[in-house]
Structure 1
Amino acid sequence: MKRRCLLDATIAALAAGALPASARGQPPQAEQKRLQAHVRFLADPLLEGREAGTRGFDLAAAYVASQFAQLGLKPMGDAGGYAQAVPLKSARLAATPPTLEFCRGAACERLAWLDEFSTRPDMARAHAEMQGELVFVGYGITAPRFGIDDYTGLDVKGKIAVALAGRPLKLPSEEGAHFGNGRTKQELADRHGAIGLITLATPRSDRVSPFHLNRQYADAVYMDWQAPEGGGGNDVPGMLGTATLSVQAAPRLLAKITGDYAGLVADAEAGRPLPRGELGLSARLVRDTVHGQARSHNVIGCIEGGRRKHEFIVLTAHLDHLGRKGDVIYPGAMDNAMGVAMLLETARLLAQSPGTLERSVLVIALTGEEKAQSGSSYFAQHPTVPAQAMAAAINIDMPVLLHDFKDVVALGAEHSTLGAAVERAARRLGLQTSPDLMPEQSRFTRSDQYSFVRCGIPALILGPGGASFKRGEDGNALINDFRRQRYHQPGDDLSLAFHWPAAQRFAQLQWELVRELAQQAERPRWLPGDFFGELYGRQGGR
């Protein structure tokens, strides 16, 4: 029966691709049945959760490539095909659990693995040890524009930095997501000469990412694209180790400088000065890692433009999900079969749009978003078009389409001229734009658009807001319930109550936005004095 359902979904999707385009001279319209057919295929249990490097992902990638071919997209992968190979290095913790101990002189205390601390495999080394003195660096942030420099007066060279999770609440949403990002903190600690970073969970960070969920990922296989020297492409070379302490364990580490951890966290969140400095402790972290190799690929096609066809608007959605654990499959229907369905339907509308698109549109189904954004990071650093030719990137990732939304949230829009284009596209569909109501989720740095931002390319991600055309419907409650109950769980499956008219509207919005960016005379650019434009814009020459 499962095979028959999968076959029916395949036939329905392929038949949809063969239907005639919209009437000549009329704007093409997104269609619910096409979106449904794509989601039904990609979230079918026979694809086993589409984990990067598995047969299930390869089947999904072949499906996307066949759709690209039917739409007439030009192959833009390797060797004249749609696939761009992404070499992956895998890593999982060995059967022997990691150890972390703190010492004050000769007296040492060992923390309980997964109850009091967590850590991840080492991408570069099979046996890794980190040992050094501990220095508390507040949030571990240097942001002169916002009056923050947690490393002022501190010497962490050859030592281990200890930082609170997250960021001060006064920071704006996207900038806060950047500074609170673990990799940003590692890079800063590395620049100051630290050899490792220990992160202290706070009550706020524990609500966003509960520490107890580390048990769920204790035996997880992590991946990154493999750098020529053998490590992970996203490694911070100077970091010998990282770990996170639970809210219960964190206060013991700061006993020398405060007896009131809750008070210290409250001061930090309010932006008040913190008692930073040496903790009078040393730490030793030991990990054993089992490495492997895998191969996956991005699927890349192009809709060629007109006079500016050598400039590209990049449209992305990640194709992978979490795979399976034993007999339990994580189908990833909303995350991100829905996003790939949007990608394919938007590509169809663009391919059938009346008139000529001035810029070309590069359409990419990415691998490895669930593996440290490895597919987008690899493509952004190894593009199959000239790097300077990528004018902007629009990412589609897990639009939670469960209500009749009438507003959208565009993370990243306010940093570039993309914001004005979003406003215009939304108005044409009778939609409003709203600010990020969940800045604590740090969503701007947690998906593939950030890989392009780090390479200097203006980028954003759209999602439905909480307002609804249906009186009395609370979209935020539905979105939050999905995140609590279904996100990254087996229940993200085809039983979800998808709101297909809303999905149709969302696909139409994507088409409106990308079409405008491909047609407008001015190339998208960072706004004058913008934080990300000044931080990364010179890399992309924008």
Structure 2
Amino acid sequence: MKSVLSLLIFSLLFVSCNRSPANKAANSINKDSLLRHIETLSSDEFQGRATGTAGEQMSVDYLVNELEAMGVDPAGENGTYIQEFPLLGQTTSNAQMSVSTDGRTPFNIEYFNEFMAWPANQAEEVEVRNAELVYVGYGIQAPEENWDDFKGVDVEGKVLVFKNSDPAYDENLFGGTARLYYGRYDYKYEKAKELGALGAIIIHTDETAGYGWNVVSGAWSGEGFYLKSGDEGSSSETEFNGWITEPTSRLLFEEAGLNFDDLFEAADSPDFEPVELTGVRINVSMDADYREINGKNVLAEVKGNDPELNDEYLLLTAHFDHLGVTNPIEGDSVNNGASDNAAGVSALLEMMEAYQSVQPILKRSVLAVIVSAEEVGLLGSQYWAENPTVDPGKVTANINLDGMNVYGETRDVVVVGYGRTSLSELLEEEAEKQGRTVKPDPYPERGYFYRSDHFNMAKVGIPAIFPNPGTEYIGKGENFLALRDSVADANYHTVSDEINEFWDLSGAEIDTRLFFLTGFRALNAEELQSWKKGDEFEATRLEMLERLEN
């Protein structure tokens, strides 16, 4: 009798729970409404949504119309939904690199095939002559790891040569095999600038990069985009950044009488000290043309109702831009970006509409920042993070939606940033209610945490997660995961990223509901969300909160 009574009570609680306003709002999110947004944004009419094009403006207009129709308030500039940001498009030409050595024959290094370089300070001309080279290992300064590759050596005015990635030989250092921000090329270039270096060159190997030289040459030979700094050509900044192939690096080290393999291995030690390439000098020159563009982020909010908490926010991000129109492949030149990232934008819009429907019971507020210029360097989110419309210390957490599960329901969901924040724990609890599990990123060595818009939010202290599709598909057969990966890989950043016969948005539907309910928990929680103790972004968060308290 007791067991029957317990079952009855559980059933009543389950029904009551699923009839709650939050669950009712979650259940209003459905695959048909998700598909409507994806079909529109990924249509040929939107021209691939590239930054600075008519396709970007069409996307902005669509997003604004949808948000207005929901009754969601504008949160951009001057009472609008728009946050404009200035961009420079940079096209490098006439790039040359040569080496001078003591008493030996100098040699040239071939652009594209052996090196890639571009102005680092938005200058129209770069002319570096007879510069000293210093190998700095990984070039990492990480006090929390008791690691400093520079050991107080003055590198101002010199060209730094970096080993790519970060130490991975010890699971207790730098996250083991997981690539941290210290291993990203962005960090190396920022460190060179911070220390007053004249230039920065990263040695490419397939192993340390995780991709071939063709990816480097292809990515950096086209137009690059940067946030306009307002101090173009400043002599206080690094003159150029670049990459160099492994065979060319070996030649440079040999000319300096150094053993490349020994020094590459030596970098995997906290005792490493910078090594001058004695007797080797480098010459670098190039020109660059620029065009000015105004990118546009779309911002909207649902205001919370607690007078003490409604100035705190849950931040939802997704990028709406894609690659635009490129050279035709079998007659198709539009990069539609259905999965990347019309799907993520669609999920964000559905979540905002659901939050609007339960606005009377929200304590904190919801801020949607739908960014442009992600595909050209996370620049839209970088601009918001550097010019925030609300204080980052008042943002409880960020859920970033970049690519959704468009291939069907899964028993699991992957979270990039798993276990790093209290928000990750909330998501686990909500997933458990769905009878599902949460798993960490299966490819931590690829550094995905630093490759989408949530990273810019993390850099200013905001606890952030990046949900990804799960891997245990329901009712699809044991070989479906391999099929999914092959289809997704073939479509990634190509004209074939379109809705196809393998799509099944029941997965996106249940995932979006999960993210909505996780966000709802954060909006009504007693405390702000936090980074876990010892996380690389915890100190920034604590400093920001302390500043607000004072």
Q: Distance in 1 between matches of 2:148 and 2:372?
A: 36
Assess if the C-alpha contact under 8 Å between 1:402 and 1:475 holds in 2. Answer: no
CA contact (8 A) 2:405 2:470 kept: no
- The 2-side partners of 1:483 and 1:282 are apart by 45
Taking a change above 3 Å as real, the CA distance of residues 266 and 42 of structure 1, as seen in their structure-2 partners, is farther
Q: Which secondary structure state, in structure 2, belongs to the residue aligned with residue 371 of structure 1? A: coil
2:149/2:273 contact within 8 Å kept: no
Aligned equivalents of 1:153, 1:279: Cα separation in 2: 18
Correspondence for 2:136: 137
Q: Percent of aligned positions with the same letter in both sequences?
A: 26
Matched, 1:501 2:506: yes
Instruction: Describe the superposition over 1:384-428 as per-residue Cα deviations: whole angstroms up to 9, x where unpaired.
Output: 234432222111112353353322232234333222212112212
Paired residues in the alignment total 513
**8 Å CA contact retained: 1:465, 1:476:** no
Give distance in 1, aligned partners of 2:501 and 2:113.
Answer: 33
Distance 1:406 1:246, change over 3 A: farther
For 1:483 and 1:253, how far apart are their aligned partners in 2? 40
The match for 1:310 is 311
Q: 1:437-472, CA deviations, whole angstroms, 9 ceiling, x for partnerless residues?
A: 212221111111111111122112111232333475
Partner of residue 361 from structure 2, selected from 311, 336, 356: 356
| Aligned match of 1:151 | 150
More off after superposition, 190-199 vs 302-311? 190-199
Deviations 1:178-217 (A, max 9, x none): 10122222222333332211100122145x3321134434
Q: Is 1:519 equivalent to 2:518 in the alignment?
A: no
Letter in 2 for 1:102: V
Amino acid at match of 2:325: R
What secondary structure is seen at the aligned counterpart in 1 of 2:182? helix
Match of 2:324 in 1: 323
Residue 124 (structure 1) aligns with: 122
**In structure 1, distance between residues paired with 2:146 and 2:433:** 40
1:412 aligned to which of 412, 417, 422: 417
Aligned with 2:373: secondary structure?
A: coil
In the alignment, which of 223, 226, 229 is matched to residue 228 of structure 2?
A: 226
User: Secondary structure in 1 aligned to 2:486?
Assistant: helix
Cα 1:439–1:311 change in 2 (3 A) is: same
Q: Following TM superposition, by how much is the alpha carbon of 1:260 offset from its aligned partner in structure 2, in angstroms?
A: 5.5
**Inter-partner Cα distance in structure 2 for 1:59 and 1:194:** 42
2:99 equivalent in structure 1: 102
**How big is the alpha-carbon RMSD for the aligned residues of Structure 1 and Structure 2?**
2.8
Separation in 2 of the partners of 1:147 and 1:496? 52
Conserved in 2, the CA contact under 8 Å of 1:91 and 1:122? no
Deviations 1:294-329 (A, max 9, x none): 112111110111102111111010011111224522
Residue 486 of structure 1: which of 480, 487, 491 is its match?
491
CA distance in 1, matches of 2:107, 2:534: 49
Equivalent in the alignment of 1:8: none
Q: Deviations over 1:261-293 (max 9, x none)?
A: 3x765665x658768501122222212111111
Shift of 1:123: 5.2
Unaligned runs of at least 5 residues, structure 1: 1-21
CA, structure 1 residues 276+224, in 2 after alignment: closer, same or farther (shift >3 Å)?
A: closer
Residue aligning to 2:15: none
Mapped contact 1:129–1:241 kept (Cα < 8 A): no
- Partner residue of 2:3? none
TM-score, normalised with respect to structure 1: 0.87
User: Which range moves more in the overlay, 420-429 or 339-348?
Assistant: 420-429
Quick one: structure 1 residues 190 and 260, their matched pair in 2 at CA, closer, same or farther if it must change by over 3 Å? closer
What's the CA shift for 1:129? 2.5
Could you tell me how far 1:476 is from its partner in structure 2?
A: 5.7
Give the aligned residue type for 2:157: G
Name the CA distance, whole Å, in 2 between partners of 1:474 and 1:540.
Answer: 48
Is there any run of 5+ residues in structure 2 with no aligned partner, and where? 1-17
Matched, 1:197 2:200: yes
Deviation at 1:365, TM superposition (A): 1.0
Partner of 1:212: 214
Would you say the 8 A contact 1:90–1:123 is kept in 2?
no
**Does 2:470 align with 1:465?**
yes
Q: CA deviation at 1:371?
A: 2.1
Confirm or deny: 8 A CA contact 1:403 1:473 kept in the other structure: no
Distance 1:450 1:504 in 2: 25
Change (3 A) 1:493 1:246: farther
Q: Distance in 2 between matches of 1:376 and 1:451?
A: 6
Contact 1:87 1:226 (C-alpha < 8 Å) held by counterparts: yes
Normalized against structure 2, the TM-score is what? 0.86
What is the CA-CA distance between 1:166 and the residue it aligns to?
1.2
* Structure 2 counterpart of 1:372, from 365, 377, 380: 377
Indicate the residue corresponding to 1:336 in structure 2: 341
* Counterpart amino acid of residue 410 in structure 2: F
Partner of 1:65: 64
Q: Distance in 2 between matches of 1:188 and 1:178?
A: 12
Report Cα offsets for 1:58-92 as digits up to 9, x if no partner.
Answer: 10111111111111110111111111111222211
3-state SS of 2:180 partner: helix
Distance 1:23 1:531, change over 3 A: closer
Contact 2:120 2:241 in 1 (8 A): no
CA distance in 1, matches of 2:273, 2:501: 48
Q: Give the AA of the match of 2:454.
A: Q
Measured after TM superposition, the shift of residue 244 of structure 1 is 0.5
| Among 10, 24, 27, the residue aligned to 1:27 | 24
